[in-house]
Amino acid sequence: MCQHAYSPFRSVLGHFPSGVVAITGHDLNGGPVGMAVSSFTSVSLEPPLVGFLPGKSSTTFPAIARSGTFCANVLASGQEDVCRALASSGGDNFAEVSWHPGPHGDPVLDGIVAWIGCTIEAVHDAGDHHLVIGRVDDLAADTTADPLLFFRSRYHRLAAA
Ligand SMILES: Cc1cc2nc3c(=O)[nH]c(=O)nc-3n(C[C@H](O)[C@H](O)[C@H](O)COP(=O)(O)O)c2cc1C
């Protein structure tokens, strides 16, 4: 294995562009929980499966795992504030975020590009992260909205071709 005093892993992997997804769920009291991820992906068409990778130190994922369901909200261009709120740990990160209950009672955020409501099918071990596979139960998209993009640790928006 290649040894360096400075690990370029984060820096180099940050050159892979992605969208930003708010993974939402609910706690034992039905209150909203959520975290921002760039690791969301489509997995299988038949059966319809998606995936994301929460860090093992996430305090949000245990509540989502306990409930057994989640909603993947694809953030829209201009929703950097929503992303920051859901990337913060502790406190009420839904205080400034408007939403309504979607499938399984998991939050569907206002102003997003698309949402995908899922039941957790499997949680695999993946180093310092979990690989979570969700079976898609329900989904919808706003075909006119542009996505929020994340690249080299910064937010971007689509440029007209
Ligand atoms: C653009 C962006 C992408 C992120 N992607 C991930 C990810 O794929 N997996 C992850 O575990 N955390 C990711 N995070 C960090 C989590 O949002 C954050 O660590 C987490 O919500 C912390 O709160 P928690 O400990 O309450 O779960 C990302 C943050 C940002 C801003």
Give me the pLDDT at residue 7, please.
Answer: 75
Q: Is residue 160 part of a domain?
A: no
The residue whose CA is least distant from atom 22 of ligand 1 is 89
Distance CA 96, CA 92 (A): 9
Give me the pLDDT at residue 147, please.
Answer: 98
Q: Is residue 132 part of a domain?
A: yes
137 lies in which domain range?
18-153
Find the CATH number of the domain harbouring 138.
Answer: 2.30.110.10
Distance CA 11, CA 23 (A): 24
Q: Is residue 124 part of a domain?
A: yes
Give me the pLDDT at residue 117, please.
Answer: 98
Count Cβ atoms within 10 A of the Cβ of residue 105 and give its class: 0-12 exposed, 13-18 middle, 19 or more buried: middle
Looking at the structure of the chain, the number of domains it has is 1
Q: Is residue 159 part of a domain?
A: no
* Residue list, ligand 1 pocket, CB within 6 Å: 20, 35-39, 53-55, 58-60, 83, 87, 89, 150
Q: Is residue 75 part of a domain?
A: yes
Cα atoms in the 13 Å half-sphere on the side-chain side of 160 = 0
Give me the pLDDT at residue 13, please.
Answer: 95
Tell me which of 16, 20, 35, 82 to substitute to probe ligand 1's pocket, judged by most ligand atoms within 8 Å of the beta carbon: 35
Q: Is residue 7 part of a domain?
A: no
Q: Is residue 10 part of a domain?
A: no
- Tens digits of residue pLDDT in 49-95: 999 999 999 999 999 999 999 999 999 999 999 999 999 987 789 99
Say how many Å lie between the CA of residue 55 and the centre of ligand 1: 8
Looking at the CA of residue 37, tell me the nearest atom of ligand 1: 5
Give me the pLDDT at residue 4, please.
Answer: 55
Give me the pLDDT at residue 90, please.
Answer: 78
Q: Give the chain's length.
A: 161
Give me the pLDDT at residue 160, please.
Answer: 79
- DSSP-assigned letter for residue 106: P
Q: Is residue 117 part of a domain?
A: yes
Contact yes or no for 123/131 (Cβ under 8 A): yes
Tell me which of 21, 23, 37 to substitute to probe ligand 1's pocket, judged by most ligand atoms within 8 Å of the beta carbon: 37
- The DSSP string of 19-84 is E-EEEEEE-TTS-EEEEEES--EEEETTTTEEEE--BTT-SSHHHHHHHTEEEEEEPBTT-HHHHH
Tens digit of each residue's pLDDT, the chain (161 residues): 555 556 799 999 999 999 999 999 999 999 999 999 999 999 999 999 999 999 999 999 999 999 999 999 999 999 999 999 999 987 789 999 999 999 899 999 999 999 999 999 999 999 999 999 999 999 999 999 999 999 999 999 999 77
Give me the pLDDT at residue 89, please.
Answer: 86
Say how many Å lie between the CA of residue 161 and the centre of ligand 1: 30
